[in-house]
Structure formats: structure tokens, C-alpha cells
Amino acid sequence: MNAREQYIEQLKKYLKGLSQADRDDAIDFYSEYIDDAGLTTVKEIVDKLGTPEQLSTDIIAKTTGSQPNGPASRPVNYVNDRRTRTILYICLAVVLIIFLGPLALGLLLGFFGLIIGGLASIFGLGIWAFALAGSLFATDVWGAIFYCGGGIALLGLLIIFVAIVVWAIKWLYRGCKNFVRYLRNKSKEGA
């Protein structure tokens, strides 16, 4: 079922209150209109005509002579609610970035400082364990082996933490990139 057929089927459901002749006329008219306008997706059809429910409200209103209130009766310069919401969300994001950006940046840099400090501490302890093992090797072989094993364990732990930090940075980068892409797509939809 293509987009036109899908839209028309939904429209038929909402036009049940009309006589068969009026319903057939409306369905024929809007089927031809969709074909002539070259609308190929449901989104294009909804952007041009409104949802099937909105269009049916206009059709019924025009057929019965009452005041229409759907998208077809709106003026051309009507501002879409979704578009207005998108613009407001973008403005809110900009205001939050301006006011909370420095705080967030400080917290983020502090967090990364703690991570780097922790990694440096683990690295330092590992090197210290190797140095202690070297100094004990002549007097206490088993103590030297113990500290050497501790140094290897600490350096292994360092490698695991570095891998986790790299993964977290990539995850944050992808999240920020997807958020910016989402905002850009929303602003394009609103335009």
C-alpha cells in the first residue's frame, strides 16, 4: 500500500458521517490532488493537507455549510505549533548553554582532572612497586616478586581504566553529536 492509499484509507474512516456521494466526491478529489501534486510520502501529504482527521473535519464542515476549522481553512502565514515548539526548544537550549555552560565545563574539566589524577596515581604506584621490587631483589627475593606482581597488576588496572575512559569519551562525543544532529533536524522540520 503506497502513501496515497494509506492516507485515503484513513480519510475514509473519518468521513463516515457524510453521504456516500459526498464521500466518494471528496475521496476522488483528494486522490487526484495527491497524484497531481506529486506527493509520494505520508509526511508530504500531511504537510500539505493536514492529518486525515483534520482534512475530514474541513470536508465535513464545507459539505454541511458549517464553519471550517482545519488546516485547509488556516491562513497561509499560520505558524505551526510544532514549529513554534521547536524554536522554543532551541532557544531554551541556547539559554541553558549560555548560563549553565561554564558550570558544566568546570564540572567536566574537574571530573577529567580527577580521572587523570587517578590514572597518574595508579601509574606512579606501579612504577614505585617495580622500583621497590628492584631494591629488594638482592635481599628478599619473595618480597621482590610480590612487589613486581603488584606493579604488573597496577599497570594492568591502569590499562583497563584507560580503555574505560576512552570508551566514555567516545560515548560522550557520540551523544553530543547525536544531540546536535537532533536539534538540526528539528530546526529543519520547523522551517
Torsion of CA 24, 30, 34, 37, to 10 degrees: 130
pLDDT at residue 191, as a whole number: 54
Contact call for residues 14 and 52 (beta carbons, < 8 A): yes
pLDDT at residue 74, as a whole number: 47
What's the residue count for the chain? 191
Specify the pTM.
0.43
Rounded CA-CA distance 151/136 in Å is 14
pLDDT digits (tens, 9 = 90+) for 18-35: 888 888 888 888 888 888
